[in-house]
Amino acid sequence: DLPGTMVITSAGATASGRVVFEDGEKPDTRLFVRTAATVPGATFSNTSVGVNPDMSFSTSGLTERQTFRLGAVPDGWFLKSVTHRGVDITDSGYEFKPGGRVSGLQILLTRPATTLTGVAQGERGEPTGDYSVVAFSSDRNKWGYLTRFVRSARPDQDGRFTIRGLPPDDYLVVAVEYLESGQEFDPEQLRAWEGSATKVSLGEGGKQSVTLSLAR
């Protein structure tokens, strides 16, 4: 220890709430709630806690702004929203103060999911199975770290890609020959793709199919 140095620590906050399934039917599986900071490199620790049989949960040691997600969403279900006393905090997260106690969180899951499918073509219009696709919101304010509004996918053995569970929104979709890990979350790269992307609109539970040309 350095002479004359004092380290002051403060207790993290606690948060409690419930997981709700929209049609009232809950799957017979163990659930976990995880928290994550809304910005990379924040001074925090991720937490993961089990959900009780009555679908309640409580977690502690929270600092700064955190988002809430299920660790593994049951098959056939998708995240619809996270709210705190009626206010949507799904993507903005909640700002925790040292020692605070926050209740009334709700993680809502739904069955109807958006589905985006399609294929990509080469420069001569020929089908290709070697590509990556990125779907991103047309609203730049929804880009960012760990955003739900940007997703990437690879095609299956038939050359067709599928992205399920995007939040309802207007999207831009682009196919590229090569995608570096995490490149789809780079705002500069997304802006570069805007001009060559295909526009699609996904309503709640909506389905869209597109044919894309490889971006150069």
| Alpha-carbon gap, residue 206 to 131, rounded angstroms | 24
Tens digit of each residue's pLDDT (9 = 90 or more) over 28-55: 889 999 998 887 655 555 678 999 999 9
The pLDDT of residue 8 is 43
Q: Which residue stretches of 101-184 are H helix?
A: none
* Non-local CB neighbours of 4 within 8 Å, separated by 6+ positions: none
Please give the share of the chain, as a percent, with pLDDT higher than 70.
92
pLDDT at 123 over 50: yes
Contact by Cβ (8 Å): 125, 186 = no
Neighbours of 127 (CB within 10 A): 13
The pLDDT of residue 76 is 87
Q: What is the DSSP track for 61-108?
A: EE-EEEEEEESSPPTT-EEEEEEETTEE-TTT-EEE-TT-EEEEEEEE
Would you call 185 helix, strand, or coil by DSSP? helix
